[in-house]
């Protein structure tokens, strides 16, 4: 006697799928409920501002309007970065940003670097320590730059970058833009940096997601991307805040 075997009926499969969706939906609501409770406790607890600020930064990363590029696509584990013992300087950004900047400098091996916004010299130190490049760093005068290396490879120009005009001979493999953050300054520094980049060169922007306090880096970068430039946000790690944006020009690097 022949016995016909058949699977679950369409109605049974539909019921099972519906049950699975309900379970997943209930789990999502439960997880978001825990998250909402945790955030409420965080916001109303004493001394929690730094942690709450990190959560805000991560939210701006999520809604930056820029696609992500993993750091591992630019630098790999063959180029372990050299880091300053202080790990972070005032105004230098997060540790993930410092690591990313250093790893990119080590991986790309630029021969010349342009930096807008020296500040205390912390980012310049990492560009210097992770490359053999000649570095031009531009910033308004300030009393002290405790991290800036005293080395012939570094030239500090104390001037308003809006008044600085690059010479035809000024050509760079890597540009790091982190000076004035209002729209006029960001556009000025970016246009000058892109005009100085060699084919195959790389531009990096700091504070690429922060939209408050008059910061306009994100606005400018979204406009730049809309004009056809493949600007992307660097992704360092799932739990790490990184607000660096990157643009790699076409062509063969020198």
Render pLDDT for 76-129 as a digit per residue (tens, 0 to 9): 777 789 999 988 766 678 999 999 999 999 999 999 999 999 999 999 999 999
**218: Cβ contacts below 8 Å, ≥ 6 apart:** 60, 64, 65, 66, 208, 209, 210, 211
Confidence of residue 252 (pLDDT cuts 50, 70, 90): low
Interatomic CA distance for residues 221 and 231, integer angstroms: 7
Which range is least confidently modeled, 38-52, 86-100, 107-121, 150-164?
A: 38-52
Helices (H), 44-166: 49-62, 95-108, 122-129
Top pLDDT among 214 and 220 is at: 220
The strand ranges marked E within 75-196 are 112-116, 134-139, 154-158, 172-177
Please tell me the pTM assigned to this model: 0.84
pLDDT computed for residue 14 by the predictor: 60
CB neighbours of residue 108 within 10 Å: 22
In the sheet that 197-205 helps form, which strands lie side by side, from edge to edge? 68-70, 232-235, 245-248, 197-205, 172-177, 112-116, 134-139, 154-158
Confidence of residue 45 (pLDDT cuts 50, 70, 90): confident
Question: Shortest CA distance to 205 belongs to which of 159, 152, 242?
Answer: 242
Mean pLDDT of the residues in the chain: 88
- The predicted model gives 116-144 an average pLDDT of 97
């Amino acid at each position: 006697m022949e016995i016909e075997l058949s699977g679950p009926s369409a109605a049974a499969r539909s019921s099972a799928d519906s049950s699975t969706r309900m379970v997943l939906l209930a789990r999502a609501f439960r997880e978001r409920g825990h998250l909402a409770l945790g955030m409420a406790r965080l916001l109303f607890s004493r001394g929690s501002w730094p942690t709450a600020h990190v959560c805000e930064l991560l939210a701006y990363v999520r809604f930056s309007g820029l696609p992500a590029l993993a750091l591992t696509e630019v630098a790999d584990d063959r180029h372990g970065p050299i880091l300053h013992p202080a790990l972070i300087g005032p105004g230098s950004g997060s540790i993930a940003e410092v690591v990313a900047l250093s790893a990119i400098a080590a991986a790309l091996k630029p021969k010349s670097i342009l930096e807008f916004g020296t500040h205390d010299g912390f980012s310049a130190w990492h560009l210097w320590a992770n490359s053999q490049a000649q570095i031009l760093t531009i910033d308004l005068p300030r009393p002290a730059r405790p991290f800036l290396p005293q080395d012939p490879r570094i030239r500090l120009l104390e001037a308003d970058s809006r008044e600085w005009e690059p010479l035809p001979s000024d050509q760079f493999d890597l540009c790091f833009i982190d000076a004035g953050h209002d729209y006029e300054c960001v556009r000025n520094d970016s246009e000058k940096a892109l005009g100085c980049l060699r084919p195959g060169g790389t531009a990096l922007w700091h504070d690429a997601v922060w939209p408050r306090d008059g910061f306009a880096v994100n606005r400018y970068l979204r406009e730049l991307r809309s004009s056809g430039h493949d600007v992307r946000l660097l992704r360092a790690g799932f739990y790490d805040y990184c607000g660096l944006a990157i643009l790699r020009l076409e062509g063969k690097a020198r």
